[in-house]
């Protein structure tokens, strides 16, 4: 199959997109020949020879607003509030804007009212983050749920105290959660941030039971 794949692309200039890749093993057979460009998106962190990694974090207020207005200009004056309600997360912003494009009978003001409801916000990004959660071992799921005790950023020694483990073990566990994009790491501050199903600190309610 790879031979056929390469023969189709040989001598061509093509832009290929692999969305939500699971692993490097899944990507490597699909690396195209010279002259083609492959874009890979994934919630997993892995390396593939020849690919440059770029971590997509939350957008700034202006960039989030611009993204909404590029996709759905009719959002107009509601763009800033929708961006805030979406936590400035690119995925949530794209889904919100797409909804405004699809449902022409839904006004921007109506959509804002729906987004103010917690459950509506969950539905925007639930599917993407739930997949990352489901791929964890049950033990690691439980570790992640315990991080809901932190209302904001936290250090590795704080996680170690909550988990009742040594700091070195906590750092290893946090590294696994970073690799699945369920925890973010700020290299400048040396602190962690727990990503939940709302794109904010804390935890999805059904995960915290």
Does position 73 have pLDDT exceeding 90, yes or no? yes
Rounded CA-CA distance 143/186 in Å is 20
pTM above 0.85, yes or no: no
DSSP 8-state secondary structure symbol assigned to residue 153: -
Assign 52 a pLDDT band (cuts: 50, 70, 90).
Answer: confident
Residue 197: pLDDT band (50, 70, 90) is very low
Report how far Cα 130 is from the mean position of its chain's Cα atoms.
11
Contact between 154 and 170 under an 8 Å Cβ cutoff? The reply is no
Domain over 136-207 is classified CATH 1.10.10.10: yes
Q: How many CA atoms lie within 13 A of 21 on its CB side?
A: 21
| Reported confidence tier of residue 94, pLDDT bands at 50, 70, 90 | confident
Domain ranges of the chain: 2-40, 61-116, 136-207
**pLDDT of amino acid 46:** 82
């Amino acid at each position: 199959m790879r031979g056929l794949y390469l023969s189709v692309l040989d001598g061509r200039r093509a832009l290929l997109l692999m969305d939500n890749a699971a692993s490097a093993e899944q990507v490597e057979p699909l690396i195209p020949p010279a002259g083609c460009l492959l874009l890979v998106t994934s919630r997993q962190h892995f390396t593939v020879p020849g690919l440059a990694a770029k971590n997509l974090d939350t957008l700034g207020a202006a960039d989030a607003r611009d993204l909404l207005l590029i996709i759905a200009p009719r959002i107009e004056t509601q763009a800033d509030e929708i961006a805030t309600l979406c936590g400035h997360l690119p995925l949530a912003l794209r889904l919100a804007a797409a909804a405004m494009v699809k449902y022409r009978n839904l006004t921007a003001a109506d959509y804002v009212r729906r987004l103010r409801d917690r459950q509506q916000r969950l539905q925007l990004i639930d599917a993407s983050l739930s997949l990352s959660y489901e791929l964890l071992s049950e033990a690691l799921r439980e570790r992640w749920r315990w991080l809901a005790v932190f209302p904001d950023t936290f250090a590795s020694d704080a996680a170690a105290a909550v988990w009742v483990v040594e700091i070195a073990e906590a750092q290893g566990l946090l590294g696994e959660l970073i690799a699945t994009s369920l925890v973010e790491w700020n290299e400048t501050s040396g602190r962690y941030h727990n990503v939940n199903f709302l794109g904010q600190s804390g935890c999805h309610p059904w995960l915290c039971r």
